[in-house]
């Protein structure tokens, strides 16, 4: 069939400090019962003050490179997805590149939030198929904890998010039998910017009226913290994830029963259960990690891959279906054989 791309190695990393729901009860005026009932989250990992997004990305990347049986020097491109960058610019991919000591290779940052990882592997797949690159490191990494409103005002959002990173190596491969060979079958990418303000970080930003991108007023109003219309996000997430997953399977002539493992973005356990219900999926094939890590945005899918492999739920040769939805709104799906 020709040149394709495959996921050749997977790695993940979460910082050691764990915050159980009960650890947030006083800080956020919340309760374990409220969080578990509405989201399924039991705990999340939050970094210590010295750790940045590229630090988490580095650890996950080194593991993915090792698991792919490669040397660092084999990597010819880095694609990094995050909504919690080390700095506004340059992109966190450049900081990761310096930490990996891989000067001059191509670096690309992706800003598609919860959907960023699938956008990343889609771009990597196309670069690899074009023949220009052979081994692309695709990373999703987030440090949310430093950007959350850790007062009762922010409880509707701050209970949801955790810090972590996941990485894969997308490598060139020869695909002879598409029904058997390990490769990325398809990706579907979408966005609808008319919903941008339903889930966003308003400030700092150049769209603010005035001469400065940051002000005391912004801080007083808490506009430097994420804002979310949870109910709207919920409804659209279920609809769009189901839609793009169906489209990917239809394109490839694959039924849901053919899929061995569903690795969805981890925004909320209830969203994933609803997607499974709407599509009539076998829930035992849906692998969730949100209970232990919360929503790590761009990192949830590669982190889930790593944990699924560790748990023996994702094995070589398995057909995997992924779908994600997030801020933008953006949504995407991917179908790949491990
Ligand atoms: N602890 C206790 N009470 C809370 C908390 C909390 N952490 N947060 C909100 N509440 C209270 C509210 O103040 C409100 O109280 P009131 O009825 O007295 O006014 C009540 O709970 C209900 O608040 P809602 O915001 O309406 O809660 P909702 O039922 O919509 O649940 C949730 C919120 C869980 C976020 C839900 O909307 C949801 O799952 N949305 C999907 C969005 C999502 O998962 N986003 C994740 C990030 S985006 C992504 O990755 C796609």
pLDDT at position 209: 76
Q: What is the pLDDT of residue 152?
A: 97
Which of 227, 226, 205 has the alpha carbon at shortest distance from 215?
Answer: 205
Q: What is the predicted pLDDT for the residue at 14?
A: 98
328 CB-contact burial (10 Å; exposed 0-12 / middle 13-18 / buried 19+): buried
Phi (first) and psi of residue 14, to 5 degrees: -125, 145
Q: Is any atom of ligand 1 closer than 6 Å to the C-beta of 53?
A: no
Please tell me the distance from the alpha carbon of residue 79 to that of residue 98, in angstroms, as a whole number.
14
The answer, yes or no, to whether any atom of ligand 1 lies below 6 A from the CB of 147, is no
Nearest residue to 139 (alpha-carbon basis) of 124, 129, 128: 124
Residue 35 and residue 291: Cα distance in Å, rounded? 10
Domain boundaries, the chain: 2-175, 183-337
Any bridge partners for residue 7, and if so which?
A: 170
10-residue mean pLDDT series, the chain (338 residues): 94 98 97 97 98 98 98 98 97 98 98 97 98 98 97 96 98 93 97 98 88 89 95 97 98 97 97 97 96 98 98 96 98 98
Active site (annotated) includes residue 224: no
Q: Which atom of ligand 1 is nearest to the CA of 38?
A: 34
Interatomic CA distance for residues 147 and 162, integer angstroms: 11
Judge if the beta carbon of residue 294 lies within 6 A of ligand 1. Answer: no
Residue 231 has a pLDDT of 95
Residue of the CA atom closest to atom 45 of ligand 1: 267
Question: Looking at residue 264, what is its pLDDT?
Answer: 98
Domain 2-175 in CATH 3.40.47.10? The answer is yes
Looking at the domain 183-337, which fold is it? Answer: Peroxisomal Thiolase; Chain A, domain 1 (3.40.47)
Residue 210 confidence (pLDDT):
77
Instruction: For residue 324, list its beta bridge partners.
Output: 332
Residue 326 Cα: closest atom of ligand 1: 51
Taking the CA atoms of residue 248, residue 260, residue 164 and residue 269 in that order, the dihedral angle to the nearest 10 degrees is 80
């Amino acid at each position: 069939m020709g040149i394709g791309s495959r996921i050749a190695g997977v790695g993940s990393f979460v910082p050691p400090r764990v915050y159980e729901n009960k650890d947030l009860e006083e800080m956020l005026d919340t309760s374990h019962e409220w969080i578990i009932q509405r989201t399924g989250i039991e705990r999340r990992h939050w970094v210590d003050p010295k750790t940045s997004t590229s630090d988490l990305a580095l650890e996950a990347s080194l593991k993915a490179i090792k698991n792919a049986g490669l040397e660092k020097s084999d990597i010819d491109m880095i694609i990094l997805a995050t909504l919690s960058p080390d700095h506004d610019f340059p992109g966190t991919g450049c900081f990761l590149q310096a930490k990996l000591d891989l000067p001059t290779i191509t670096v690309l940052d992706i800003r598609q939030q919860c959907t960023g990882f699938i956008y990343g592997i889609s771009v990597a797949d196309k670069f690899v198929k074009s023949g220009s690159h052979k081994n692309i490191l695709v990373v999703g990494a987030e440090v949310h904890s430093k950007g959350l409103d850790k007062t009762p005002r922010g409880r509707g959002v701050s209970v949801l998010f955790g810090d972590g990173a996941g990485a894969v190596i997308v490598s060139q491969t020869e695909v002879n039998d598409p029904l058997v060979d390990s490769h990325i079958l398809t990706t579907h990418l979408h966005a609808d910017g008319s919903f941008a303000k339903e889930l966003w970080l308003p400030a700092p930003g150049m769209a603010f009226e005035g001469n400065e991108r940051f002000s005391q007023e912004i801080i007083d109003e808490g506009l430097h913290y994420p804002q979310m219309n949870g109910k709207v996000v919920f409804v659209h997430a279920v609809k769009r994830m189901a839609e793009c997953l169906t489209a990917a399977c239809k394109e490839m002539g694959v039924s849901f029963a053919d899929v061995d493992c569903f690795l969805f973005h981890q925004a909320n356990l209830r969203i994933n259960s609803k997607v499974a219900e709407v599509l009539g999926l076998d829930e035992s094939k849906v692998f969730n990690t949100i209970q232990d890590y919360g929503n790590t945005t761009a990192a949830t899918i590669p982190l889930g891959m790593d944990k699924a492999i560790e748990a023996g739920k994702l094995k070589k040769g398995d057909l995997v279906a992924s779908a994600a939805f997030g801020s933008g709104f953006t949504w995407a799906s991917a179908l790949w054989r491990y």
